[in-house]
């Protein structure tokens, strides 16, 4: 990910404060997405709600029509776009399902697992080196999941199992995106993801379709707007500051999600979730820092890049 800001006299300039502020704004936008989906609850089937969120969000792709139409598509690229759309769609459906059933803080904390799975997947499928220190960080993150779930002490809910799968699907989506990096520009890859997910979700939504109210359509359109704004602000943050500066800011979302859940949805603050999330956050931060030290290009994604 690019870490340079606007050039001055040919020199790249970092603006870490501005980058942090953009990332803070991105975090608020994504927590807004979570809060709206939580508020809608189970009024619509999760597959339908996910489909409407993406279908309504296609309006935000209108400025992208030029690059989409001009891109040269190969059979390999089309296949990868299709597979990624399906994989990401499965993750989105499960994310909507989990959000309606478990606390926001728990969803947020477990979503941080995606970069860990990407690290494992990059080592298994992309030939990336998994050094001992990174391997220890991976195990630490998985231990954080055990702290959150506490198997044997409490029953693991369907929502929690869904979130475990969400992180896997989103990680797979990111790894496919890396394969697509030589097929299209980042903007086209992002746009094609939205189109692919919408198409993939359509039959699932049709199977359980319930006519939505105008109220529900409005809030799902707002969700799409918040998600788009969050991704745009995150992109600005990457342009202005190094990922080692901006990524730790994304973890404040766990604090905001916990506060939002407690204040607006009467969700109790679970110390185990905070502790487990903190362990995962520390592990992901270490992996990201090591990647920044070892390589110029980043392997581990920022968590919110994979959000619905």
Q: What is the pLDDT of residue 2?
A: 38
Q: What is the pLDDT of residue 296?
A: 54
Q: What is the pLDDT of residue 104?
A: 93
Tokens of residue 199, six digits? 């198409």
The size of the chain, in residues, is 308
Q: 104, exposed or middle or buried, with CB in 10 Å at 0-12, 13-18, 19+?
A: buried
Q: How far is CA 299 from CA 1, 78, 147, in A?
A: 9, 23, 26
CB-CB contact of 90 with 169 (8 Å): yes
* Region for residue 10 given its phi and psi (left: phi exceeds 0; alpha: psi -120 to 50; beta: otherwise): left
The conformation of residue 298, written as its DSSP 8-state character, comes to -
CB-CB contact of 20 with 249 (8 Å): yes
- 44 Cβ contact partners less than 8 Å away, ≥ 6 residues apart: 52, 210, 212, 216
Tokens of residue 108, six digits? 């947020």
The count of C-alpha atoms lying within 13 angstroms of the C-alpha of 17, restricted to the half-sphere facing its C-beta, is 0
pLDDT tens, per residue, the chain with 308 residues: 333 444 444 444 577 888 889 989 998 999 999 999 998 888 899 999 999 999 999 999 888 889 898 998 999 999 999 999 999 999 999 999 999 899 999 999 998 888 889 888 888 887 777 778 888 989 999 999 999 998 878 888 999 999 999 999 999 998 998 889 888 888 888 899 999 999 999 999 999 999 999 999 999 999 999 998 988 888 788 778 776 677 778 788 888 999 999 999 999 999 999 999 999 988 888 887 777 676 555 445 555 555 66
Q: Sketch the domain layout of the chain as residue ranges.
A: 16-306
Measured CA to CA, the distance from residue 116 to residue 226 in angstroms comes to: 26
Measured CA to CA, the distance from residue 160 to residue 240 in angstroms comes to: 36
The count of C-alpha atoms lying within 13 angstroms of the C-alpha of 116, restricted to the half-sphere facing its C-beta, is 28
Q: What is the pLDDT of residue 118?
A: 86
Measured CA to CA, the distance from residue 268 to residue 36 in angstroms comes to: 19
Q: Can you list the alpha helix ranges (DSSP code H) found in the chain?
A: 16-40, 46-57, 65-70, 75-99, 104-111, 113-125, 132-149, 158-180, 186-207, 214-240, 243-250, 252-265, 271-294
Phi, psi (5° rounding) for residue 14? Answer: -90, 140
CB-CB contact of 159 with 102 (8 Å): yes
Measured CA to CA, the distance from residue 108 to residue 295 in angstroms comes to: 28
């Amino acid at each position: 990910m690019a870490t340079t800001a606007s050039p001055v006299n040919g020199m790249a300039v970092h603006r870490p404060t501005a980058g942090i502020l953009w990332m803070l704004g991105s975090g608020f936008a994504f927590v807004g997405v979570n809060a709206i989906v939580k508020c809608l609850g189970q009024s619509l089937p999760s597959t339908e709600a996910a489909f409407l969120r993406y279908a309504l969000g296609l309006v935000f792709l209108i400025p992208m029509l030029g690059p989409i139409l001009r891109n040269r598509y190969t059979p390999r690229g089309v296949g990868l776009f299709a597979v990624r759309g399906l994989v990401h769609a499965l993750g989105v459906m499960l994310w909507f399902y989990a959000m309606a059933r478990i606390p926001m803080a728990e969803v947020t904390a477990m979503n941080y697992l995606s970069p860990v799975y990407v690290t494992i997947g990059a080592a298994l499928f992309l030939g990336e080196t998994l050094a001992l220190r990174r391997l220890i960080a991976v195990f630490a993150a998985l231990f954080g999941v055990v702290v959150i779930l506490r198997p044997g002490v409490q029953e693991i809910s369907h929502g929690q199992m869904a979130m475990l799968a969400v992180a896997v699907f989103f990680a797979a989506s990111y790894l496919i995106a890396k394969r697509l990096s030589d097929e299209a520009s980042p903007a086209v890859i992002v746009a094609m993801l939205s189109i692919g997910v919408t198409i993939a979700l359509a039959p699932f939504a049709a199977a359980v379709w319930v006519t939505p109210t105008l109220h529900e359509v409005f809030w799902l359109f707002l969700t799409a707007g918040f998600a788009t704004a969050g991704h745009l602000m995150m992109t600005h943050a990457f342009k202005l500051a190094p990922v080692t500066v901006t990524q730790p800011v994304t973890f404040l979302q766990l604090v905001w999600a916990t506060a939002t859940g407690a204040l607006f949805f009467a969700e109790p603050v679970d110390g185990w979730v905070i502790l487990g999330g903190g362990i995962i956050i520390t592990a992901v931060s270490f992996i990201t820092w090591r990647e920044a030290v070892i390589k110029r290009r980043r392997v581990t994604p920022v968590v919110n890049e994979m959000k619905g």
